[in-house]
């Protein structure tokens, strides 16, 4: 299994990357610790995302609607659809994320983790990094 990447309250471990699948997919396991969230609603320009709940419950906000994701349930997020997520519970929530085609890879999360390590984070650089990797931030 790949290295553990910590991004704020999220732990990410890649199982497969665009590099080892010939660009077919990225697959990673994500743990969202209590009160963790994706801080910036966004959409993807060039890939779809499928998320499968493994443990705990994440709440995704997809196209303006809250969608709980408990264990054993899945959620498909088509490219171009604005989304984000949060863990409103007191327990960690874990899910499997599949991105098709593979376009992101671990480098995005490593770059964002480095930006979040600086206080306060440079919002302009975070936006530029998101855009460089194909994530388009949207004002909440």
Q: pTM score, two decimals? A: 0.93
Identify the CATH number of the domain defined by range 4-135. 2.60.120.10
Residue 121 pLDDT exceeds 80: yes
Instruction: Indicate if the alpha-carbon torsion angle 24, 81, 92, 37 is positive or negative.
Output: positive
For 53-108, the pLDDT digits (tens) are 999 999 999 999 999 999 999 999 999 999 999 999 999 999 999 999 999 999 99
CA nearest to 72, candidates 90, 88, 94:
94
Alpha carbons 48 and 9: distance in angstroms, whole number: 24
Residue bearing tokens 């471990």: 13
Asked if 58 and 85 count as a contact pair (C-beta separation under 8 A), the reply is yes
Alpha carbons 77 and 83: distance in angstroms, whole number: 8
Residue 12 pLDDT exceeds 70: yes
> Side by side, which strands form the sheet with 83-86?
65-69, 58-62, 83-86, 42-44, 135-137
119: pLDDT confidence band, cut at 50, 70 and 90? confident
Question: CA 55 → CA 31, 92, 138, distances in Å?
Answer: 9, 8, 28
1: pLDDT confidence band, cut at 50, 70 and 90? low
Per-residue model confidence (pLDDT) at position 102: 95
Question: CA 19 → CA 22, 30, 100, 103, 113, distances in Å?
Answer: 6, 19, 13, 9, 21
Tokens standing for residue 82: 């604005």
140: pLDDT confidence band, cut at 50, 70 and 90? low
Asked if 20 and 64 count as a contact pair (C-beta separation under 8 A), the reply is no
For 18-68, the pLDDT digits (tens) are 999 999 999 999 999 999 988 789 999 999 999 999 999 999 999 999 999
């Amino acid at each position: 299994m790949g290295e553990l990447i910590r991004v704020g309250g999220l732990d990410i471990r890649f199982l497969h990357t665009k590099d080892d699948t010939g660009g077919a997919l990225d697959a990673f396991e994500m743990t969202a610790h209590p009160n963790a969230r994706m801080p910036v609603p966004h959409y993807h320009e060039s890939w779809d995302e499928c998320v499968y709940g493994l443990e705990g419950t994440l709440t995704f906000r997809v196209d303006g609607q809250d969608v709980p994701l408990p264990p054993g349930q899945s959620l498909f997020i088509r490219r171009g659809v604005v989304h984000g997520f949060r863990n409103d519970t007191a327990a960690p929530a874990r899910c499997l994320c599949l991105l098709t085609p593979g376009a992101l890879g671990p480098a995005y999360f490593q770059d964002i983790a480095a930006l979040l390590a600086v206080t306060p984070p440079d919002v302009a650089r975070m936006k530029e990094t998101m855009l460089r990797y194909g994530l388009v931030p949207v004002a909440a």
